[in-house]
Amino acid sequence: MPRQAQTETTARATPAYQRIKDYVLQQIRGGAWTEGELIPTELALCKQFSVSRMTVHRALRELTADQVLLRYQGSGTYVAPAKIPSTLIEIRSIAQDIQDRGHQHSCHVLLLEKSKVSTTQAQRFHLPVGAPLFRSIIVHYENAEPIQLEDRVVDARRLPDYLQQDWSQTTPNEYLMHAAPAPSGRYTIEVKLPPKNVAEPLDIPVEQPCLVLDRMTFSGGAFASQAVMWYPGNRYKLAGQT
C-alpha cells in the first residue's frame, strides 16, 4: 500500500477527539502555542476538523484534566503553565520545617483583606478583572526570630473561608494543601533588597539582601494562590534533595 494511503487509513482509524488532542499537543510542544496563550475556540476547532462540538469538548476536557490546558468559563481555554519538575524543590510548610529542626514556630498577621483582580493579575492568573481575591501578609518566626514574610493572594471564589482561618494553628500552605489539593504550579527564586515595608517586619536593614520565592499554584487546572515569600539572607538557607 502506498505511504500516503497508509497515512490516510491511520488517520481515519484514530478517533477524532484523539486527533484533536494530538494536534493541540503538537502546537504546544512545537512552540506555536506558548504558556498562558489563548488557544482557538471550540467552534474554530470544530470547523478545522469537521467534527461536532461534543468531540472537541471531550478532547479539551481531557487535556485540561491532564493539566495541559486551563479552561475558564466565559474567558476561553489557555495553555497551562509547565509543571514543576519534582526533582527541583519541594515547597513545604514553614511551620513543619521549623518543627523538624526542633524549634518553635509562631506567626504574626500583618494584613487580612479583600481585594479585586487587577488587569495585571488577570493576565497572570487567568481570572476576570474585578473578581474577588483575599490577601494575607504574615510574618513567620523561628524561636521568636522573624525568618519569612509571606504576602499571599487567593481566589476568594474557590476559597471563601480563607480569611476566617486561625493562622496561629495552621499556615496558609497547610490550609491550601487541604482546600486546593494536588497543586501544580511554577515559581521563581531571586535575590532582592527588601523595601521598607518588608524590612521592618523582618527586623533587617533595607541593605540586607533577601531570598525571594514567588510561587503561583493551580488546583484542578484553575488558579488557587500566588505567594511572594521574603527570607532574610543572613538567616535562611535554601536546601533540598533530589
CATH topology of domain 94-232: Chorismate lyase (3.40.1410)
Rounded CA gap, 204 and 12, in Å? 66
Q: What is the spatial distance between Cα 113 and Cα 232, in angstroms, rounded to a whole number?
A: 25
The domain spans of the chain are 3-79, 94-232
Distances (CA, A) of 84 to 47, 107, 242: 35, 28, 13
What pTM was computed for the model? 0.62
Looking at residue 100, its pLDDT comes to 82
Residue 116 vs residues 96, 110, 130: alpha-carbon distances, Å: 31, 19, 5
Using alpha carbons only, what angle is made at residue 86 by residues 147 and 65, rounded to the nearest 5 degrees? Answer: 115
* CATH number of this structure's domain 3-79: 1.10.10.10
Cα–Cα distance for residue pair 56/44, rounded to 1 Å: 10
pLDDT along the chain (242 residues), means of 10: 48 82 92 87 95 94 85 80 47 80 92 95 91 97 94 95 93 88 79 94 92 88 92 71 46
- The yes-or-no answer to whether 3-79 and 94-232 have a common fold is no
Picking from 39, 125, 132, 139, the residue whose alpha carbon sits closest to that of residue 94 is 139
pLDDT at 185: 78
Q: Are 158 and 126 in contact (CB under 8 A)?
A: no
Residue 242 has what pLDDT? 43
Q: What is the pLDDT of residues 197-220, one digit of tens each?
A: 999 999 999 988 999 999 998 887
pLDDT value of position 101? 82
**pLDDT tens column, 62-102:** 998 887 888 877 778 888 865 533 334 556 788 888 888 88
Phi, psi of 42 (to 5 degrees): -60, -40
Quick count: other Cβ atoms within 10 Å of Cβ 93? 19
